[in-house]
Amino acid sequence: MSRGMWRAAPPAGVWIFVAAAAVASAFFIDFCDLVYGCGCRSLWAGGGAHCNIHKTQPPHCPWCSIGLGGWGGVYVLILLSQGAAVNRSRGFFWPWRLAFALLAFPLTGGVLAVVAGLATGYWN
């Protein structure tokens, strides 16, 4: 076998980020409902089909009402914060790095949710 066939494994930080991003991806919509009580459900239980965005009367979920681009922007900011947590925690034992990355999801999501909720007057 030639030496070129063996490739180095990705750094541990990549796997830590992938694991944290998978959790955020699976529970992003559940977090939306936790903060806004909008009716969103887990992806495997109907997703946004029961969100109050589909009702004619307000209030409408701030994250769902900003459209796919806005919703995607919130999601990307959460993933970026997780990546930053993994990167900034180099030198820590991997369970700590994973914990920091997992914690970045509700912290960043919470800040973004409060900003969007206040900006749209959702809780008025």
Residue 110 lies in a domain: yes
Instruction: Quote the percentage of the chain above a pLDDT of 70.
Output: 92
Q: How far apart are CA 104 and CA 118, in angstroms?
A: 21
Instruction: Quote the percentage of the chain above a pLDDT of 90.
Output: 77
Q: How far apart are CA 118 and CA 4, in angstroms?
A: 55
pLDDT per position as a tens digit, 65-123: 988 888 899 999 999 999 999 999 989 999 999 999 999 999 999 999 999 999 999 99
Residue 36 lies in a domain: yes
Predicted confidence (pLDDT) at residue 2 exceeds the cutoff of 80:
no
Residue 81 lies in a domain: yes
Q: Does 84 or 1 have the greater pLDDT score?
A: 84
Residue 92 lies in a domain: yes
Domain count along the chain:
1
**How long, in residues, is the chain?**
124
Residue 6 lies in a domain: no
Segment 22-42 shows an average pLDDT of 95
Residue 3 lies in a domain: no
Residue 2 lies in a domain: no
Residue 68 lies in a domain: yes
Q: Give the residue numbers spanning the domain of 62.
A: 12-119
What does the chain look like in DSSP terms, one character per residue?
--GGG--PPPPHHHHHHHHHHHHHHHHHHHHHHHHH------GGGTGGGG-GGGSSSSP--HHHHTHHHHHHHHHHHHHHHHHHHHHHTTTS-HHHHHHHHHHHHHHHHHHHHHHHHHHHTTT-
